Amino acid sequence: MVKGSEERVINSGVKWQVSRSAICWSDVTGRNHSSVIPIRICFFLSEIVRVCSNGRVMKRALIVWGGWDGHKPKEGADLFAGWLRTQDFEVEVSDTLDSYLDAEKLGSLSLIVPMWTMGTITKEQSEGLREAVKDGVGLAGYHGTMADSFRDNTDYQFMTGGQWVAHPDNIIDYTVNITDHDDPITRGLRDFSMHSEQYYMHTDPSNQVLATTTLVDRSTDWVNGTVMPVVWKRRYGQGRVFYSSLGHVPDDFKVPEAMEIQRRGMLWAAR
């Protein structure tokens, strides 16, 4: 299998591989053939192979996980990769920010799911990610894995629409209030309870907020009564950006509303 290639079986057992510089195939007798062709034609053919082999257009998603392990990013990546695959996404799961350096690959995506708490990102990696979203790739994520990622990178925060700053009293019981009952991401959902971190964030006024939480009886009493956005969506260039502050650990998504919001948000963000 050529690295980075698509392998598909189309009719009569003929196997195709389309790499960046060649198309290879084996016929029904098992004989191998190959032909070097220009990169643009390779890309075009790989798209045809992708569509024909499934009878429908598959969307592509990239999940990039890493950073602070307390948020169990690998478990989160496995959880949502599995679900996206049930929604006809081809999903690549990566544990390196260098995935943001491949502009051609990023341009072929429908959705990027960032799962990286804290850490640092290089100028080139950050630009690669942001340019892809500006050009129309969707971005959807949750909790600190999307909005406490690279604390010194304000360009990244300008894209996500918020940055975590505190979770007063750590794991507590709190209520999430659905504030937009018409939006497809929150339509039909009722207010619900969480037992987790209640995120206190610095958020972008241009966010379209779909759900909030109110801080009550916190030891940081000067913020009591504050209504804090929990779920929002926004645009960044041509890209759709979705965020929910729920999901401190993957088990938080056992709360049905938290999971439903995340799933709907990912589908909404994907182009």
Tokens of 19: 């790499």
Tokens of 3: 């690295």
The DSSP secondary structure of 20-86, one letter per residue, reads SSEEEEE-TT--EEEEE--HHHHHHHHHHHHHHHHTSPPEEEEEEEEE-GGG-HHHHHHHHHHHHHH
Q: Which is nearer to Zn ion, 5 or 213 (CB)?
A: 213
- The binding track of 173-212 with respect to Zn ion, each residue x by CB under 5 A or -, is ------------------------x---------------
- The binding track of 135-154 with respect to Zn ion, each residue x by CB under 5 A or -, is ---------x----------
Rounded to a whole number of angstroms, the minimum distance from the CB of residue 219 to Zn ion is 18
Tokens of 67: 């950073």
Q: Which is nearer to Zn ion, 63 or 246 (CB)?
A: 246
Q: Nearest to residue 151, comparing CAs of 85, 68, 92, 84?
A: 68
Q: Which three-class secondary structure state does DSSP give residue 171?
A: strand
Rounded to a whole number of angstroms, the minimum distance from the CB of residue 248 to Zn ion is 4
DSSP 93: E
Question: Which stretches of the chain are assigned E, i.e. beta strand?
Answer: 6-10, 14-18, 22-26, 32-36, 59-67, 89-94, 111-117, 138-142, 162-166, 171-178, 192-197, 200-203, 208-214, 227-236, 239-244
Instruction: Give the phi and the psi of residue 125 in degrees, each rounded to 5.
Output: -65, -45
Q: Which is nearer to Zn ion, 59 or 248 (CB)?
A: 248
Q: Which is nearer to Zn ion, 16 or 199 (CB)?
A: 199
* Residues paired with 227 in a beta bridge: 214
Rounded to a whole number of angstroms, the minimum distance from the CB of residue 120 to Zn ion is 19
261 vs 250: CA distance, rounded Å: 14
Rounded to a whole number of angstroms, the minimum distance from the CB of residue 264 to Zn ion is 22
72 binds Zn ion (CB under 5 A): no
Rounded to a whole number of angstroms, the minimum distance from the CB of residue 257 to Zn ion is 18
Yes or no: say if 28 and 13 are a contact pair by the CB < 8 Å rule: yes
Rounded to a whole number of angstroms, the minimum distance from the CB of residue 57 to Zn ion is 36
Q: Which residue is nearest to Zn ion (CB)?
A: 248
Number of amino acids touching Zn ion (CB under 5 A): 3
59 vs 108: CA distance, rounded Å: 9
Q: Which is nearer to Zn ion, 19 or 245 (CB)?
A: 245
Q: Which is nearer to Zn ion, 67 or 138 (CB)?
A: 67
Q: Which is nearer to Zn ion, 142 or 236 (CB)?
A: 142
Q: Nearest to residue 195, comparing CAs of 265, 243, 251?
A: 251
Rounded to a whole number of angstroms, the minimum distance from the CB of residue 34 to Zn ion is 49
Q: Which is nearer to Zn ion, 100 or 200 (CB)?
A: 200
Rounded to a whole number of angstroms, the minimum distance from the CB of residue 128 to Zn ion is 26
Residue of 72, 130, 218, 248 interacting with Zn ion (CB under 5 A): 248
Binding residues (CB under 5 A) for Zn ion: these are 144, 197, 248
